[in-house]
Amino acid sequence: MCGIAGYIGYRDAYPIVIKGLQRLEYRGYDSAGILLFDKDVSISKTKGKVSDLEAIMINGIFKKGSIGFGHTRWATHGVPNNVNSHPHVSNSGELVIIHNGIIENYDAIKKELIKRGYTFQSDTDTEVLVNLIEEVKKTHDCKLGKAVQIALNQVIGAYAIAVFDKAKPDEIIVAKLGSPIAIGIGKENKEFFVASDASPFIEYTKDAIYLEDEEMAIIRKNKEIKIRKIKDDSLITPQVQELKMNLEQIEKGGYDHFMLKEIHEQPNAITDTYRGRLIADQGIIRLSGVDNNLEKFTNANRIIIVACGTSWHAGLVAEYLFEDFARIPVEVEYASEFRYRNPILTEKDIVIAISQSGETADTLAAIKLAKEKGAFVYGVCNVVGSSIARESDAGSYTHAGPEIGVASTKAFTTQITVLSLMALRLANVKGTMSSSKYHMYLQELELIPQKIASLLKIDDHIKEIAKTYLLSNNCLYLGRGFNFPVALEGALKLKEISYIHAEGYPAAEMKHGPIALIDDRMPVFVIAINKGHYEKVVSNIQEIKSRKGKIIAVVTEGDTQVKEIADHVIEIPETEEAFTPLLTTIPLQLLSYHIAVMRNCNVDQPRNLAKSVTVE
Ligand code: F6R
């Protein structure tokens, strides 16, 4: 959570930092602030979005300077208001900081600093940290870099910070533990960029360094960057990586919202996910992460999947896939619960961590725990070089491209694609699936992108349905088997972007409680494809209908039975049951999107949420 973007070089820092913050707003948008240095420090900050910050910076004087950094906040300590916005300044006014993360022992440090005469304006842990650095600098009579290092050795928690010292205005110090920092390197070290991910500087340089945990960097104009270990001060040789991301990928490309663009990108995203990995006509699946660890997978006692939110829903689909195809027992855990319940793990367990951002704090903590207990950790991440990807023993990227809309869409379907490939590969190696079935599944998976493309063409029909239900206060989503997780995901998509209360249930669970809610004002979205438990789902639909509930059913093309009972139907192309989640989820994404737009909600940046949840 929280985004940081900074610049030091020869250009005007203001437009670079502002544009950078806009690209990082997916990480939080409770407040925004910026520091610029041009002969003196100027700081502007405000509650609200980056656009609100731009609006208060009408006076051009404050926009000058070729060094600066900014912050977009997702509030943790202290309500979102002007005072709690970053940057924060030390008591002397000399040091300025921006911070992404949480300093857990800030209260004890704050009390100690108060005893020494420090005063605090805000309720934030960050203001405590900048004053701790100041106190260390004074008592040790040292330079900023050393003071940052000593101070960070005293804090517990997570941080990505950038610190500036008025007395040394040609330098920015950055440091990382738990929250990400990417540093863009300009030609001949004439300029440097600092950010929570590489998107703010993609048009300026393709050379980037991703700091590792407990590393700090001293960045000076026209000097080689210096990276040190925070613990023991040892020098690290910077590993410069070439960025593959391009500008087009992080812009809206003519769509009204990133979410809509990302829904429509799914055919290409899934093709990118299986490109070079699925060679259907030859019956080949290549996944180096699995292939290099085949023995571990085939001898595994069980697979434990850890994830949060939408990624957890993809994990639930994977449970069906791995158990059905490869006959490996699977448990799916909320990472936030798993990490705290002393789980029983052995070396014969495989823990799969699923995460779009690769930065989710609970998922990261869960895999660290799993590694400590000897399990083999496999990461399924989208963001290349992210913390979870780096922490995993092996893994597969989803290659969905940047997902900027806060609500996950293409991340979900590409995660399911990777997990399908893994399950099929293992089924083939273990001999748990006949060769003919295996080949058929490969052919079918290859066709999914074109089936999604055809499904996206019925967007107008879905928009019409959205109009009917946009004023609902509650909705239910039902599905069975492979589509039970899709029901959960459909409900999550609706509630997070339209603020309508929605619940997902396995259809057969209705009669154990939720059916009491059904009346003529309750829309029920039912996934009733002609596979698996179709007849049973039809009975569930009848039960709802006889209690006057409104039925919106996702059915297979050509369905006649459900069509007769449902108020609205949305048809999906025929496919194998195991791959239906890749199709049934699409109309539910579109429905949520249209309902949210019609309710005037901020679709890409829903209230209280952030894309990358780097705090517990
Ligand atoms: C919902 C959504 C969240 C994320 C969750 C995990 O649309 O986006 O529920 O799925 O915060 O995030 P990642 O996948 O980045 O670990």
What residues does ligand 1 touch, defined as CB less than 6 Å away?
308-311, 355-357, 360, 363, 407-408, 492, 496, 613
Please tell me the total count of domains within the chain. Answer: 3
> What is the 260 CA–ligand 1 centroid distance (Å)?
17
207 and 86 part of one domain: yes
Identify the residue whose tokens are 């003196």. Answer: 40
Question: Does the residue 613 lie in any domain?
Answer: no
Both tokens of residue 347?
A: 């070396």
How far is Cα 477 from Cα 484, in angstroms, rounded to an integer? 9
Residue 331, beta-bridge partner list: 304
Higher pLDDT, 615 or 314: 314
Of 439, 455, 471, the domain-final residue: 455
Question: Does the residue 178 lie in any domain?
Answer: yes
How far is Cα 220 from Cα 191, in angstroms, rounded to an integer? 8
Cα separation of the two ends of the chain: 10
Predicted confidence (pLDDT) per residue in 189-214, tens digit: 999 999 999 999 999 999 999 999 99
Per residue in 218-237, is it b (16+ CB within 10 Å) or e — as a string?
bbbbeeebebbebeeeeeee
Per residue in 152-189, is it b (16+ CB within 10 Å) or e — as a string?
beebebbbbbbbbbeeebebbbbbbbbbbbbbbbbeee
Higher pLDDT, 247 or 65: 65
Q: Which ligand 1 atom lies nearest to the CA of residue 313?
A: 10
Q: Yes or no: say if 549 and 518 are a contact pair by the CB < 8 Å rule.
A: yes
**In terms of C-beta density within 10 A (0-12 exposed, 13-18 middle, 19 or more buried), how is residue 296 classed?**
middle
Q: Which ligand 1 atom lies nearest to the CA of residue 409?
A: 7
Q: Is the pLDDT of residue 180 over 80?
A: yes
Which pLDDT value is given to residue 59?
A: 67
Question: Does the residue 16 lie in any domain?
Answer: yes
Predicted confidence (pLDDT) per residue in 113-141, tens digit: 999 999 999 999 999 999 999 999 999 99
Question: Does the residue 357 lie in any domain?
Answer: yes
Output phi, psi for 102, to 5 deg.
-140, 130
Atom 3 of ligand 1, nearest CA residue:
309
> What is the 543 CA–ligand 1 centroid distance (Å)?
33
188 and 79 part of one domain: yes
Atom 10 of ligand 1, nearest CA residue:
310
349 and 367 part of one domain: yes
DSSP reduced 3-state for 357: coil
Active site residues: 2, 611
Sign of torsion, CA 502 508 509 515? positive
Q: Which of 402, 384, 400 is nearest to 392 (CA)?
A: 384
Per residue in 96-107, is it b (16+ CB within 10 Å) or e — as a string?
bbbbbbbbeebe
Question: Does the residue 589 lie in any domain?
Answer: yes
Count CA atoms closer than 13 A to 297's CA, side-chain side: 25
Which pLDDT value is given to residue 58?
A: 76
DSSP reduced 3-state for 260: helix
> What is the 408 CA–ligand 1 centroid distance (Å)?
6
Atom 5 of ligand 1, nearest CA residue:
309
Identify the residue whose tokens are 């669970």. Answer: 509
152 and 171 part of one domain: yes
Q: Yes or no: say if 173 and 217 are a contact pair by the CB < 8 Å rule.
A: yes
| Mean pLDDT of the chain, nearest integer | 94
Query: Given ligand 1 and candidates 258, 604, 613, 615, which is best to mutate, with the most ligand atoms within 8 Å of its CB?
Result: 613
Query: Given ligand 1 and candidates 356, 380, 410, 496, which is best to mutate, with the most ligand atoms within 8 Å of its CB?
Result: 356
376 and 482 part of one domain: no
Of 249, 275, 290, the domain-final residue: 249
Predicted confidence (pLDDT) per residue in 383-429, tens digit: 877 889 999 999 999 999 889 899 999 999 999 999 999 999 999 99
How far is Cα 529 from Cα 584, in angstroms, rounded to an integer? 9
> What is the 610 CA–ligand 1 centroid distance (Å)?
9
Both tokens of residue 280?
A: 């259907």
Tell me the C-alpha to C-alpha distance, in Å, between residue 123 and each of 32, 108, 616: 16, 14, 19
Q: Which of 103, 160, 148, 92 is nearest to 126 (CA)?
A: 103
- In 226-375, at which residue ranges do the beta strands (DSSP E only) sit? 226-229, 235-236, 241-242, 278-279, 284-285, 302-307, 330-334, 349-355
Atom 16 of ligand 1, nearest CA residue:
355
133 and 236 part of one domain: yes
Which pLDDT value is given to residue 185?
A: 97
Question: Does the residue 433 lie in any domain?
Answer: yes
444 and 531 part of one domain: no
> What is the 125 CA–ligand 1 centroid distance (Å)?
25
94 and 119 part of one domain: yes
In this structure, the strands spanning 67-73 and 3-8 are: antiparallel
Predicted confidence (pLDDT) per residue in 511-570, tens digit: 898 889 999 999 999 999 998 889 999 999 999 999 999 999 999 999 999 999 999 999
Predicted confidence (pLDDT) per residue in 41-69, tens digit: 999 999 999 999 999 987 666 788 999 99
95 and 235 part of one domain: yes
Question: Does the residue 615 lie in any domain?
Answer: no
> What is the 307 CA–ligand 1 centroid distance (Å)?
8
374 and 288 part of one domain: yes
Question: Does the residue 397 lie in any domain?
Answer: yes
Which pLDDT value is given to residue 144?
A: 97
Residue 488, domain CATH? 3.40.50.10490
445 and 353 part of one domain: yes
Structural domain containing residue 584: 458-603
In the chain, % of residues over pLDDT 70: 99
Query: Given ligand 1 and candidates 360, 413, 494, 495, which is best to mutate, with the most ligand atoms within 8 Å of its CB?
Result: 360
Output phi, psi for 419, to 5 deg.
-65, -35
Of 224, 249, 274, the domain-final residue: 249
Q: Which residues contact 66 (CB under 8 A, 6 or more apart)?
A: 7, 8, 9, 10, 11, 12, 13, 38
504 and 397 part of one domain: no
Identify the residue whose tokens are 């040892």. Answer: 234
Residue 30, domain CATH? 3.60.20.10
